[in-house]
């Protein structure tokens, strides 16, 4: 399992106070993939630019696709640009992959991040591994979860255990991207309300 799949599994759990948004989760999943690529030494960071290294074989199909999607020519892609490009609809991609692997099942009692059919987590070794990382407050998983508003982990990237500068950089940029997305949502909501008021009249 990868950090991104663990994050998706945790996000599918009960979050009564604030459901995780599809866009927020997609950005965080792209960040999780990048962190795993850093851990596998498939990439390094030069400032905030992603510098590809070798092309190792990955057991995980989605992480392999992530590696294949890297920009391998100069100028290299910035982390922020990668999050927005790779993250487009990425949460739906992960839902489909976990359903195909039997990690998610259709059920009346489940929920979907995207509306439509309800899904629920299967009782699997993958789910148990993800929950084990979550309950242990594993720093990277907890920081990514906190970025999308899930409680139960560290609130920011300064928590003990995050001593890799590249990982800290990715986490900070994920946080910024999620906040930017929220600002766009709020601006659109205000514009929509103002437009409705114009048509409603005094």
How confident is residue 190, by pLDDT bands cut at 50, 70 and 90? confident
What is the pLDDT averaged over residues 99-114? 69
Q: Is the pLDDT of residue 17 over 80?
A: no
- 49 φψ region: left (φ > 0), alpha (ψ -120 to 50), beta (else): beta
pLDDT of 187 reads 72
In terms of residue numbers, what domain contains 116? 3-175
Please give the angle made by the CA atoms of 7, 117 and 90, to the nearest 5 degrees: 35
pLDDT of 123 reads 80
What is the pLDDT averaged over residues 26-34? 97
Q: Is the pLDDT of residue 4 over 90?
A: yes
Q: Is residue 106 part of a domain?
A: yes
Q: Is residue 50 part of a domain?
A: yes
pLDDT averaged over the chain?
A: 83
Return d(Cα 47, Cα 34) in angstroms, integer: 14
Return d(Cα 141, Cα 146) in angstroms, integer: 9
pLDDT of 84 reads 95
Tell me the per-residue pLDDT of 125-180, one tens digit each, with 9 for 90 and over.
Answer: 888 899 999 998 899 999 999 999 887 544 444 444 577 899 999 999 999 999 99
pLDDT of 45 reads 96
Q: Is residue 192 part of a domain?
A: no
What are 150's two structure tokens?
């899930």
Q: Is residue 199 part of a domain?
A: no
DSSP state of 17: S
pLDDT of 18 reads 60
Q: Is residue 124 part of a domain?
A: yes
What is the pLDDT averaged over residues 104-123? 65
What are 142's two structure tokens?
């907890």
Which among 173, 151, 170 is positioned nearest to 162, based on CA atoms?
170
How confident is residue 94, by pLDDT bands cut at 50, 70 and 90? very high
Q: Is residue 44 part of a domain?
A: yes
pLDDT of 13 reads 77
Q: Is the pLDDT of residue 21 over 70?
A: yes
Tell me the per-residue pLDDT of 54-92, one tens digit each, with 9 for 90 and over.
Answer: 878 899 999 999 999 999 999 999 999 999 999 999 999
Beta bridge partners of 52: 43
What is the pLDDT averaged over residues 3-30? 84
Number of domains in the chain: 1
Q: Is residue 163 part of a domain?
A: yes
pLDDT of 79 reads 97
Q: Is residue 17 part of a domain?
A: yes
């Amino acid at each position: 399992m990868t950090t991104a799949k663990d994050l998706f599994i945790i996000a599918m759990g009960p979050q009564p106070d604030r459901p995780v948004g599809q866009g927020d989760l997609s950005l965080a999943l792209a960040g999780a993939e990048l962190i795993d690529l850093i851990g596998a030494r498939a990439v390094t960071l030069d400032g905030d630019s992603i510098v590809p290294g070798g092309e190792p074989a990955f057991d995980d199909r989605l992480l392999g696709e992530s590696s294949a999607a890297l920009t391998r020519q100069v100028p290299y892609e910035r982390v922020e640009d990668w999050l927005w490009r790779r993250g487009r609809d990425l949460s739906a991609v992960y839902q489909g992959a976990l359903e195909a692997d039997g990690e998610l099942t259709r059920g009346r009692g489940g929920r979907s991040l995207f509306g439509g059919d309800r899904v629920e987590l299967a009782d699997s070794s993958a789910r148990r591994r993800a929950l084990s990382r979550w309950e242990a407050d594993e720093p990277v998983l907890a920081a990514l979860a906190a970025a999308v508003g899930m409680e139960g982990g560290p609130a920011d990237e300064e928590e003990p255990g995050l001593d890799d500068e590249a990982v800290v950089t990715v986490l900070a940029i994920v946080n910024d991207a999620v906040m930017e997305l929220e600002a766009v949502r709020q601006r659109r909501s205000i514009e929509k309300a103002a437009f409705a008021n114009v048509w409603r009249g005094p």
